[in-house]
Amino acid sequence: MWAYTCISLFVMVVVAENKQLIMIDAINSIKSWNASITPYSFLDWGQKLSMLGLIVDETINPPYNENTIVADLPKTFLTTHKWPKCLSSILQQGRCGSCWAFAGISTLQDRLCISTNGNILESLSTLNILSCREDHQELCAGNKISSAFEIAKGGVVQEECSPYITDPEGNIVDSPASCSRQVCSKYKIKRKEYRVGSFNYLNQDHKSVMSEIFVHGPVVASMMVNEDFYHLSHHEEPYHHAQGKFVGWHSVKLFGWGVSPSGVPFYHAANSWGVTWGNGGFFKIKIDEYGLAQSVCGPELLFH
């Protein structure tokens, strides 16, 4: 009986992996974006779902703020064109539904740098954000797209005070997770605390989103993740859904836009799945990809 069970499990794994290999071949046959085996290609459904954590509540209509619309936006733009020092390194959330916090922290770091003319290049604590959630859910529970900014109104400390550490399997290891801003004292580190003054939900048109990025810096955006997204490797053409089922909602950072060699408009985006996925953790996504930027949010003011 034991041997039969082991054989059955082995067969199930082989079938599941073959399905993903067939999907990769099918995507590449379209000759659009490039798919290959990534560290996430052979995760099971539950593991894939654990890497997503954006809660999209379509019953809530947030107040959209009219931001400054730039009449003549450039055809291509990266925030590093205006602010060369102000693009955060790719982060690694592991198998935790903390994308909303990571995208928020990455955006906050960039805007902190921008607001100080490149004088403050600080790594902020994602764990501090996760520990201070008002709903008191466990660390890896999902949350709304604006939640990181809402929590950061109360302040967020630097990463070295409350580090986010994962084991080789991607699970959060024991860390001094605490909402207290006094965590820095445990490491004998001088605390630096940064706060968000306010944040804006943007209108769901691309002119508004691009203008916000052009004037103020990166934004956090929602996107729908399908099975093929886990296979995204180095690419020139932007990602768009080609194969596989819908898995869940995800939060990423948008920091520019452009046009691909074949003429497809896209956003430059940063994921939080480490550097072994996509273009070193960054990726291009088709501007009109379904579900992209259904919710877009940016911090209006950051001070310390």
Conformational region of residue 6, where left means phi above 0, alpha means psi within -120 to 50, and beta covers everything else: alpha
Q: How far apart are CA 76 and CA 259, in angstroms?
A: 7
**Whole-angstrom distance, CA of residue 18 vs CA of residue 5:** 20
Distance CA 105, CA 127 (A): 10
Judge contact between 133 and 126, C-beta under 8 A.
Answer: no
Radius of gyration of the chain (CA): 20
Q: Which amino acid would we find at residue 97? A: G
3-class state of residue 303 by DSSP: strand
Is residue 207 classed as helix, strand or coil in its secondary structure?
A: helix
Q: Indicate the DSSP class of residue 160.
A: G
Cα 57 vs. chain centroid, distance in angstroms? 18
Residue 39: closest CA among 233, 173, 224: 233
Q: Residue 141 is encoded by which pair of tokens?
A: 């529970």
Contact 77, 258 (CB under 8 A): yes
Detail the DSSP E strand segments found in the chain.
64-65, 77-78, 156-157, 193-202, 219-226, 246-259, 265-270, 282-286, 296-303
> Is-catalytic flag, 250?
yes
Catalytic residue among 216, 240, 250, 268: 250
Q: Of 86, 96, 99, 132, which one is the catalytic site residue? A: 99
Q: Which of 34, 271, 279, 297 is catalytic?
A: 271
> What separation in angstroms does the CA of 234 have from each of 45, 88, 276, 277?
24, 19, 10, 8
DSSP state of 227: G
Active site residue 271: yes
Is 99 one of the catalytic residues? yes
Residues recognised as catalytic: 99, 250, 271
